[in-house]
Amino acid sequence: MLPSLSLILALLLLPADDVRITLLDGTTKQGSLLGITETAVQLESDGARTEIPLSSLLLLESTAPETPANDAPPQQIWLRNGGQLSGSSVAQSARTVSLLSPRLGQVLFPVTAVSAVRLQPGNDGFRPAWDAFRQRQTEQDLLVVAKRDGSGLDFLAGVISSASSEKIEFLLDGETVPVPANRVYGLVFGQPAGQPAPIPAVRASLAGGDLIAGSSLLVTGPKFKFLLSPDNSLEGPTEVLRQIDFSGGRLRSLAELQPLEIRFLGTEPADSPLAAVPELQEAEKLLWGPRLDGTIPGTSGQYRPRIGGREVTRCIAMHSAAEITWELSQKYEQLDALAAIDDTYALANAGGNALKLTIQADDAVVFDQQILGRDQPIPLSLSLKGVSTLTIKVDFGDGSGIGDWLILGDPRLRITQ
């Protein structure tokens, strides 16, 4: 059977070796993506066409350069299966939540698939409180608002009936209360107690930092179709796909694992006179404290970090000096990641900044190295067999904390089978 005209045109427009594939055994392949079916990835490599079974795949990554977006979309949706999309014009009815995505157009989700919606542009000062509200286990909906003095966030518990750009219809103590939308920072949707979050078989990172997850992904030439659930799918242009994770339940992102402890030790070494100012340390913690949400602060607000010229969506960002500890309970056998200083901060310091990265598995130090801004990303592959606790520490590599943003990109925990 002859290939379709759209597929022929797509192949002509794709650069050679535009994707890199990582298999479960650790080997890699490069080539041009022809398509993805329900059972295999179709690849052209060295002039030959090959099919790689999905069952043997770990990751598929685009190697094509990405043009950074000028402005971050003001609103964001979080899905119960781990997906998150940014956009504008969020609206909610009794059954659905919609969002206008700059890359996917108008997208629609069942209310039952959505865990939270941020209606206002992201605020670094509100981020810890907002993350805490999003992760709260509650059967009631939460209407999250900024305090009048701007000092933080507060909430009301009830039922969210509908939402638009003008108002939120909120049922409070049996009475419907219309709340102006510009006063609402975000919405958190309740869920029945004990209902586990679904584990998606496929997850994809998109250009701009969005994540989508679901049961299957099909690619035919310039278009993809993502099955998010049996009755909900999402379509878009293939060119926005940056990374596809086929690991299903075999891997877990360390960035999504709740830490046992997070310690921020300040951006100044202990011998600095500024290190002893408690008020300064608290303000620094909001801006420079460890981040698990895939963003770091820049001159014009938070942005997605880049290492080695590539934007990373799932990552752990830590500024000197900080320490994070996770409880692993001997459930994982390996940690894979890329470690580097963020490109923007490295460029601003002409690659001269330095930090020290130390990784400890229980009582054993498994990685201990100084990382320079001019270094290429360092691939990590660390054994975690039998390990109960994992600790990652970022310290001053040259006696200064200037530009010390360590990015641990795509930190994947391989689950013990």
* Domains by residue range for the chain, with CATH: 5-62 (2.30.30.100), 75-188 (no CATH), 254-415 (2.60.120.1060)
Which of 13-27, 51-65, 82-96 is predicted most confidently? 82-96
Q: Which residue has the higher pLDDT, 54 or 407?
A: 407
User: What is the per-residue pLDDT for 101?
Assistant: 94
pLDDT category of residue 13 using cuts at 50, 70 and 90: very low
Within 10 angstroms of residue 334's Cβ, the number of other Cβ atoms is 17
**What would the mean pLDDT of 374-387 be, rounded to a whole number?**
94
pLDDT tens, position by position, 151-181 = 899 999 999 999 998 999 999 888 888 999 9
User: What is the per-residue pLDDT for 56?
Assistant: 85
> Which tokens belong to 385?
């067999």
Instruction: Report the DSSP pairing between strands 405-415 and 315-319.
Output: antiparallel
User: What is the per-residue pLDDT for 402?
Assistant: 81
Nearest-angstrom CA–CA distance, 252 and 322: 23
Query: Are 385 and 344 within 8 A, CB to CB?
Result: no
User: What is the per-residue pLDDT for 88?
Assistant: 93
Q: Which residue has the tokens 């692993």?
A: 328
pLDDT, the chain, mean: 86
Percent of the chain with pLDDT over 70: 89
The answer to whether residue 15 scores a pLDDT higher than 50 is no
Whole-structure pTM value:
0.68
pLDDT category of residue 415 using cuts at 50, 70 and 90: confident
pLDDT tens, position by position, 22-32 = 887 667 888 99
The backbone region for 223, taken as left when phi is positive above 0, alpha when psi lies in -120 to 50, beta otherwise, is beta
Query: Are 237 and 210 within 8 A, CB to CB?
Result: no
User: What is the per-residue pLDDT for 223?
Assistant: 94
**What would the mean pLDDT of 224-232 be, rounded to a whole number?**
87
The answer to whether residue 10 scores a pLDDT higher than 50 is no
The answer to whether residue 9 scores a pLDDT higher than 50 is no
**What would the mean pLDDT of 250-255 be, rounded to a whole number?**
85
**What would the mean pLDDT of 16-38 be, rounded to a whole number?**
83
**What would the mean pLDDT of 372-389 be, rounded to a whole number?**
95
Nearest-angstrom CA–CA distance, 410 and 316: 8
The answer to whether residue 68 scores a pLDDT higher than 70 is no
The answer to whether residue 109 scores a pLDDT higher than 80 is yes
User: What is the per-residue pLDDT for 272?
Assistant: 62
Q: Which residue has the higher pLDDT, 392 or 417?
A: 392
pLDDT tens, position by position, 316-350 = 999 999 999 999 999 999 999 999 999 999 999 88
User: What is the per-residue pLDDT for 335?
Assistant: 95
pLDDT category of residue 2 using cuts at 50, 70 and 90: very low
